[in-house]
Structure 1
Amino acid sequence: MTRAIILIMDSLGIGASDDAPRYGDQGANTLGHIAEACEKGEADRKGLRQGPLRLPNLARWGMGKALESSSGYKATGLHCDEKKLEGAYGYAVEQSRGKDTPSGHWELAGVPVPFDWGVFPRTVPCFPQSLVDELVERCQLPGILGNCHASGTEIIEQYGQEHIDSGKPILYTSADSVLQIAAHEEHFGLERLYQLSSIAKELVDKLNITRVIARPFINAPSSAGNAAFQRTSNRRDLTTAPIAETLLDKLVAAGGTVVSVGKIADIFAHRGISKTVKGKDNMDLFDRLLEETESNGDQSLIFVNFVDFDAVFGHRRDIPGYAAALEAFDARLPELEALLKEDDLVLISADHGCDPSWPGSDHTREHVPVLFYGPNVKSADLGQRNSFADMGQTLAQHLQLAPLEQGKSCWE
């Protein structure tokens, strides 16, 4: 029985790439800086976590070795004796021009993006007036709010009540090729938000913008502290389709099964997907992963994106929260290990960085970890992989597919 599982720890970069200065990210290191803050006692939070970062299972899989190889940083909580290492480990350099989610995922699946996506300028307003006018007219809106680069959580706090009072949706962007639309699930309506986002995607296609993200929110419960609103799990990503056939397309065409857990189906524009499973947060997504691992058979790929690392902690620059989420994820890996069959191959990686110690709230240009684990995987140093596509090529080989057009197998 041949199966593969991909776990994307969304935004878990492990050191700045050589081209990071082009993006203003020289020195970024998502995992390294989180571990460093924990060791200094700067990531303690009462009732959440304290002390050095402890990731014993990821350490067994080789995460500490990958971090050290990529950036030179040795994290105490990721140390593992050579004789106890159980995974094949290394790091990958992105060839795609952007540091965005679709580019990272597509390249991992064998399709690097060799051009720059369109982005909106760092001006206020940031969206072309013609785009705003057409969106307002077609969707019969009273206008829009925001129209700037912003943190998603901050902008709904700033404009949430005005949005409810006026009926104007909140539009904003980031350094990525994206238009984000936030609206209240009840006052504006979830389906109306999805329809608005669909029309917006149609309009931004001519600007070469790769994603429109629908960001629904609700009034925050009294236990949420000072926050008046909170985003819900009903996010929807409308993404441009991959520019070539991916590992997912090829597996489905060969009669295999691809199971999307989380936002994977959205990232691939629902192409090459056999089944879609959603989850409300990282732990719920891990539950769904375990269910699919138990039920799926031969020639299947389970592809999971653990979005909280990025959306809840990375972009919000929450180091203690990110550290606690890493420790919670690590604690559940033995549950997955217990379900693996003899020929299963598991990959842990990321799509980009989002260093919570870095200025601003955008992604960071970093290497990503390459960790392969399975009953038949022997510990090995895979070194530097010159493209994320090496991971897709390795999985294609494992699933007995024809070679992908890009990438070199990590076993070669």
Structure 2
Amino acid sequence: MRAIILVMDSVGIGSAPDASLYDDLGAETIGHIAEACARGQCDNATREGPLLVPNLVRLGLGEACRLASGQVPPGLDAPEAEGRFGCAVEVSKGKDTPSGHWELAGVPVPFEWGYFPRTIPCFPEDVVKRLCERAALPGILGNCHASGTEIIARLGDEHVRSGKPICYTSADSVFQIAAHEDEFGLKRLYAVSEIARELLDPFNIGRVIARPFRGSHSGYVRTHNRRDYSVPPPDQTILDLATAAGRDIVTIGKIGDIFAHRGTGRNLKGDGNDALFDRTLEGIEALSDGGLLFANFTDFDSIYGHRRDVTGYATALEAFDGRLPELFLRLRSDDFLIITADHGCDPTWKGTDHTREQVPVLVLGGDRLREVGARLSFSDVGASIAAHLKVGQVPNGRAF
């Protein structure tokens, strides 16, 4: 009797009821990708035609989209779903990674995050001054809202010449620090990020992210040595409950960082979705009875969603779907699997930020007579995992 949560980072399925407050009314990550594929707009040398995700469709992805948006996207129809399916609405304010994951784990964010203004410079002068003093920096570059790939392309050469890290933010509650792994040093970047985390605590900034990159004047590329420095969740998540109950816990990818390494057990990392799937399979094979595995697949969001790469996103979805049978073969009869998401990042939408969307809740195992349906909080995922594992109750949510 084990529990497994797979988070397809940013795979939203339709505007949330409050999407207009975020200027996201009409955003629909899966639906718009499927429509683009059906129109032939995602055809290239390696893929063509409609979005092909048969395993997710059999679990009920298309019907979950119908619940959320009122229609099944092209190519996602199924005669009958084999799994239980539903959709969920986020009650936490914002559309960021920590809020989405914490709420999935049973703890909605009850407060407003701190954000930086869309001015140049955007960071408080005193914070920048203290960061430079404590980290022995000659200064910083950027100090603005920016796309991560754009800003390293624009300022990468100056960063290498000057030794000044590139600091920027986004619509999320985040302070990001980009630096060259070789010229600046990876350990030094992490040390600077730790200082920034301490300085920004009074401002209620959700995450400081170390964003290492490599390359030269001809082109800079971000690496997978990213590290997030998050504030801890404000209450006991499903990870905390399982830890207190002495359960085996395996977390995959950036789950450890998102939860400030509290209750995250053995954390397995991987370079990209395919490697993360390998780590997930390894984790499941080693997971003890009564254990919990919690995985995040970040490429959908970080590589394709934010970069508004519709074809890349479609290809990544199809690759993820193609590996699901390997996972199904490793499930035991009493295991409980939930595949979901933490927010949207519609690659057809304006800008480069996340989109406020509902998420799919696709379930295998548990009480097969009970429908999932439309859930009023992501916390129902955590509540259902807690009920299956019998480790008590998370602070919020109703089990399906």
Tell me the TM-score normalized by structure 2.
Answer: 0.98
Q: CA RMSD in A?
A: 1.2
Deviations 1:67-87 (A, max 9, x none): 1110023223221112xx211
What letter is aligned with 1:390? D
Q: Distance in 2 between matches of 1:373 and 1:299?
A: 16
The answer to whether the Cα contact below 8 Å between 1:15 and 1:28 also exists between their aligned partners in 2 is yes
Which residue of the partner structure matches residue 409 of structure 1? 399
AA matched with 2:157: Q
Aligned to 1:152: 148
Task: Tell me by how many angstroms 1:380 deviates.
Answer: 6.1
Residue of structure 2 in register with 1:27 after alignment: 26
* Separation in 2, partners of 1:273, 1:368: 23
Q: Is the 8 A contact 2:249 2:287 kept in 1?
A: no
| Counterpart position of 1:38 | 37
2-side partners of 1:145 and 1:303: how far apart? 36
The answer to whether residue 376 in structure 2 is matched with residue 386 in structure 1 is: yes
Q: Secondary structure at the match of 1:78?
A: coil
**Matches of 1:73 and 1:201 in 2, distance apart?**
43
Give the letter for the 2:28 counterpart.
N
Instruction: Evaluate the alpha carbon distance shift between residue 76 and residue 378 of structure 1 in structure 2; reply closer, same or farther with a 3 A threshold.
Output: farther
Are residues 287 and 227 of structure 1, via their aligned partners in 2, closer, same or farther at CA, if it must alter by over 3 Å? farther
Q: CA deviation digits over 1:146-182, x for unaligned, max 9?
A: 1111111111100111100110000000000000000
Query: 2:231 — aligned with what?
Result: 240
Structure 1 distance, partners of 2:369, 2:167, is 47
Aligned: 1:332 with 2:331: no
The offset of 1:191, in angstroms, is: 0.1
SS at match of 1:182: strand
For 1:326, give the aligned amino acid: L
| Identity across the alignment (%) | 58
Q: Distance in 1 between matches of 2:219 and 2:355?
A: 29
- Between the aligned partners of 1:54 and 1:356, the Cα distance in structure 2 is 18
Of 45, 49, 52 in structure 2, the residue corresponding to residue 51 of structure 1 is 49
Paired with 1:309 and 1:402, the residues of 2 have a C-alpha distance of 33
Mapped partners of 2:395, 2:163: distance in 1: 48
The SS at the match of 1:303 is: strand
From 175, 178, 181, the counterpart of 1:182: 178
Match of 1:196 in 2: 192
- Aligned residue for 2:79? 81
Runs of 4+ in 1 over 6 A off after TM superposition: none
Alignment correspondent of 2:115:
119
- Specify every segment of 5 or more residues in structure 1 that has no aligned partner in the other structure, as ranges: 221-225
CA contact (8 A) 1:88 1:377 kept: no
Tell me, in whole angstroms, the C-alpha distance in 2 between the residues paired with 1:227 and 1:352.
34
Moved more, 329-338 or 378-387: 378-387
How far off its partner does 1:379 sit?
A: 7.4
SS of structure 1 residue aligned to 2:75: helix
Q: In structure 2, the residue corresponding to 1:384 is in which secondary structure?
A: strand
1:41 offset after TM fit, Å? 1.1
Distance 1:176 1:230, change over 3 A: same
**Which residue does the alignment assign to 1:97?**
93
Q: CA deviation at 1:227?
A: 6.5
1:276 counterpart SS class: strand
Q: Deviations over 1:48-81 (max 9, x none)?
A: 3211101100000111100111002322322111
Aligned counterpart, 1:128: 124
* In structure 1, C-alpha distance between the alignment counterparts of 2:110 and 2:29, rounded to whole Å: 25
Shift of 1:378: 3.2
Q: Separation in 2 of the partners of 1:277 and 1:200?
A: 26
Report what 2:4 is aligned to: 5
Amino acid at match of 2:36: A
- 1:281 aligned residue (272, 280, 287): 272
**What TM-score comes out, normalization by structure 1 length?**
0.95
Tell whether the 8 Å contact from 1:157 to 1:227 is kept in structure 2 after alignment.
no
Cα shift at 1:266: 0.3
Match of 2:343 among 349, 352, 377: 352
Q: Secondary structure at the match of 2:372?
A: strand
1:261 counterpart = 2:252: yes
**For residues 328-360 of structure 1, what are the alpha-carbon distances to aligned partners after superposition, in whole Å with 9 as ceiling and x for unaligned?**
000000000001111111110111111101111
Cα distance between partner residues in 1 of 2:29 and 2:219: 29
Letter in structure 2 aligned against 1:269: A
Larger deviation, residues 397-406 vs 238-247: 397-406
